[in-house]
Structure 1
Amino acid sequence: MTARYSEDDLIARLFAPIAGPAGLGLTDDAALLPASSQPTVATVDMLVAGVHFFADDPPAAIAQKALRVNLSDLAAKGAEPVGFLLSLALPGDWTNDWLAAFAEGLAADAAAYAAPLIGGDTTATPGPLAISITALGRAARFVPRSGARPGDAVYVSGTIGDAALGLALRREPEFAAKLSPQAREYLDGRYLLPRPRLDLIPTLRAHATAAMDVSDGLAGDLAKLCRASRASAVVEAPLVPLSRAAREAVALDPGLLETALTGGDDYEILFAADPAFEAPPGVVRIGDIVAGGAPPRFLDQAKTQMIFGKMSFSHF
């Protein structure tokens, strides 16, 4: 039986090759970032097996999801990534092969998104696998949650609800079997691997008054943005963009529309901007920011307010 890597070995063999210059080869106690005229933006997300991903998901995909959810936060703030710190709490059943595949997936995304590893930590845990990533970025203009004002329009990128539906289908295989293979594959892929919208950084810097990524659910995240901005919003639910796969699922079970509107893990960008703003392809206006302190209202086709059992995912 091959001996497992020591902590020094796994750092030197698997993670040091991913490190950028600021990481100093992962041989020091801290990273050294070059000076910049742009403010530094920092964000952190922790992912835990059984909560944020399935323990038997491919290790490369687990690593990539952990990095991408952080890059999504940077994108929503108008910040381009400069690097990230990784902390791993490994349970007793990890293997060299599993960790090598994890590092391979991480390296691929670090290169693809120009976000090198610059430091981190590893430890053992008696509990499930836990991954914490702190991502750092630079923002020529920081886009807060708190800048939306009555008269702004509400926009969202991509399609909404795919990841939440993908998770629902994993938990309900009997219903999943009713969907076409193409729909199942698409929805599962959207849950497994988010797509951070770094392409929208120039748009957000130029036009957004407030922005955040949709991580806990469109309805609840819009409520957070509105609270921070001391305003409210009205959304026309039929305008919320749904993928073909999501529409197929909702057609089979209309109750899944609420799942799509309130479920998490989309990692699309929700933002407010001038209604005269010319949205780029893939960005859709879904409503308006209005005065008041009430939670956002979602209206159905008949302009009747929709009532949700919960507005978004919550850990507690």
Structure 2
Amino acid sequence: MSGEFNLIEKYFVNRQPQRKDVLLAAGDDCALVKAPGNVEIAVSTDTLVAGTHFLTEANPAWVAHKALASNISDLAAMGATPAWVSFALTIPEVDEAWLAPFCDSFFKLADYFGIQLIGGDTTKGPLSLTLTVQGFVPEGRALRRDGAKVGDWIYVTGNLGDSKAGLEVVLEPEQNRAKPYALELEERHYLSVPRVLAGQALVNLASSAIDISDGVIADLKHILKRSQVGASIDVSCLPISPELCQFTSDIASAQQYALTSGEEYELCFTVPEENKGSLESVLSHTGTKVTCIGQIRPVEYFELHNNGEPLSWRLTGYDHFKAN
């Protein structure tokens, strides 16, 4: 890319304080970092493509937040402490009106979670973003998907379904922008808050965990498959915001949004009976709302019910929207 190094120097270099564990962040072929002892390093990579994960005309500050938050959420689901990020940006041309708010938002979120950008690449081409985040988790204590046991309780953080409603506003503004709280829900689609503190608090308490990127009904099934168990979900317990209820206009629709909404970046996790009583006190310092929505059952058993009344809803998880 013409002016590649000028672009990197202007927008990405010397934007943050130097972490003590970063020995070399820029200026050579590789970054050099030093991990403390008795930890494991959690690594996650995601790509966001214009027209698939966000519209090209979307607010660049919101796009930056969404890109980094989605990766940080993967670390949160493992109970990890974020540390470093590498970022590869493919962009059609150097557009300073787009880059300036994008980078301001990117570094604001990175600084909030103590993450330092340690390297990456810039390339000319269709707009896409690839991030690799790394963090620390105490040795042998990472939250995983394969630890759920029959009898464990199923919990989620935050509210569910808002992101799906916000996405409908993004994709069909003429039809949905006049609905109650449409603008607020659109913003929530982009500006999720990774549950890092909650994930860290759940280490040694939860038996399994996953972040909700494809909808709780789809992501929970990843836990069920890896743990070889089943589940019973009471939809009357799903945490739903008042704004979503008014947007959808009926509770059953709001419950279905809550089950299938992707890109929420809340956590779904399981807790053994003996740890259930400790959950509220352990999470009290995080300010995170948690809700019990069901219980783990024997393998191949999966049930949705409403206060004990079976439901026959056939629901699938979130699918990234396609380019026009």
Aligned to 1:195, the other structure's residue is in SS state coil
Q: Does 1:283 align with 2:269?
A: no
Aligned mate of 1:13, from 10, 15, 40? 10
Go from structure 1 to structure 2 and tell me whether the alpha carbon gap of 1:117 and 1:23 turns closer, same or farther (over 3 Å shift).
farther
Cα distance in 2 between the residues matched to 1:302 and 1:174: 39
Given that residues 263 and 313 in structure 1 are in contact (C-alpha distance below 8 angstroms), is that contact kept between their aligned partners in structure 2?
A: no
Q: Number of residues paired by the alignment?
A: 307
Q: Does 1:103 align with 2:100?
A: no
Given that residues 169 and 176 in structure 1 are in contact (C-alpha distance below 8 angstroms), is that contact kept between their aligned partners in structure 2?
A: yes
> Equivalent residues in 2 for 1:103-182 (5 A)?
103-125=103-125, 127=126, 129-140=127-138, 141-180=141-180
> Equivalent residues in 2 for 1:190-209 (5 A)?
190-209=188-207
- Aligned residue number for residue 66 of structure 2: 65
The structural deviation recorded for 1:103 is 1.4
Aligned to 1:18, the other structure's residue is in SS state coil
The structural deviation recorded for 1:258 is 2.2
Go from structure 1 to structure 2 and tell me whether the alpha carbon gap of 1:142 and 1:253 turns closer, same or farther (over 3 Å shift).
closer
1:56-114 residue CA offsets vs partner (Å, 9 max, x unmatched):
1221221121111110000110000011000111124x412321222111111111110
1:254-282 residue CA offsets vs partner (Å, 9 max, x unmatched):
54542331120110000000233333451
The structural deviation recorded for 1:23 is 6.8
Go from structure 1 to structure 2 and tell me whether the alpha carbon gap of 1:10 and 1:167 turns closer, same or farther (over 3 Å shift).
same
Counterpart amino acid of residue 12 in structure 2: F
Given that residues 218 and 312 in structure 1 are in contact (C-alpha distance below 8 angstroms), is that contact kept between their aligned partners in structure 2?
A: no
Q: Which runs of 4+ in 1 moved over 4 A?
A: none
Cα distance in 1 between the residues matched to 2:120 and 2:24: 12
Aligned mate of 2:220, from 219, 222, 240? 222
Given that residues 162 and 191 in structure 1 are in contact (C-alpha distance below 8 angstroms), is that contact kept between their aligned partners in structure 2?
A: yes
1:98-156 residue CA offsets vs partner (Å, 9 max, x unmatched):
2122211111111111011011111111x3x1101000000012000110000100000
Aligned to 1:87, the other structure's residue is in SS state strand
Aligned to 2:33, the other structure's residue is in SS state coil
Cα distance in 2 between the residues matched to 1:29 and 1:77: 30
Go from structure 1 to structure 2 and tell me whether the alpha carbon gap of 1:227 and 1:315 turns closer, same or farther (over 3 Å shift).
farther
Aligned to 2:13, the other structure's residue is in SS state helix
Unmatched tracts of structure 2, length 5 or more: none
- Aligned residue number for residue 42 of structure 1: 43
The structural deviation recorded for 1:198 is 1.1
State TM-score, norm by structure 1. Answer: 0.90
The structural deviation recorded for 1:308 is 2.2
Go from structure 1 to structure 2 and tell me whether the alpha carbon gap of 1:115 and 1:9 turns closer, same or farther (over 3 Å shift).
same
> Equivalent residues in 2 for 1:62-101 (5 A)?
62-92=63-93, 94-101=94-101
Go from structure 1 to structure 2 and tell me whether the alpha carbon gap of 1:150 and 1:55 turns closer, same or farther (over 3 Å shift).
same
Go from structure 1 to structure 2 and tell me whether the alpha carbon gap of 1:14 and 1:23 turns closer, same or farther (over 3 Å shift).
farther
Unmatched tracts of structure 1, length 5 or more: none
- Aligned residue number for residue 298 of structure 1: 304
Superposition RMSD on alpha carbons, in Å?
Answer: 2.1
More deviation, 14-23/53-62? 14-23
Counterpart amino acid of residue 90 in structure 1: I
Identity, in percent, stands at 31
Aligned to 1:133, the other structure's residue is in SS state strand
More deviation, 267-276/247-256? 247-256
Given that residues 217 and 262 in structure 1 are in contact (C-alpha distance below 8 angstroms), is that contact kept between their aligned partners in structure 2?
A: yes
1:29-81 residue CA offsets vs partner (Å, 9 max, x unmatched):
11111132211010111111111112112212211211111100001100000
Given that residues 262 and 313 in structure 1 are in contact (C-alpha distance below 8 angstroms), is that contact kept between their aligned partners in structure 2?
A: no
Cα distance in 2 between the residues matched to 1:198 and 1:56: 30
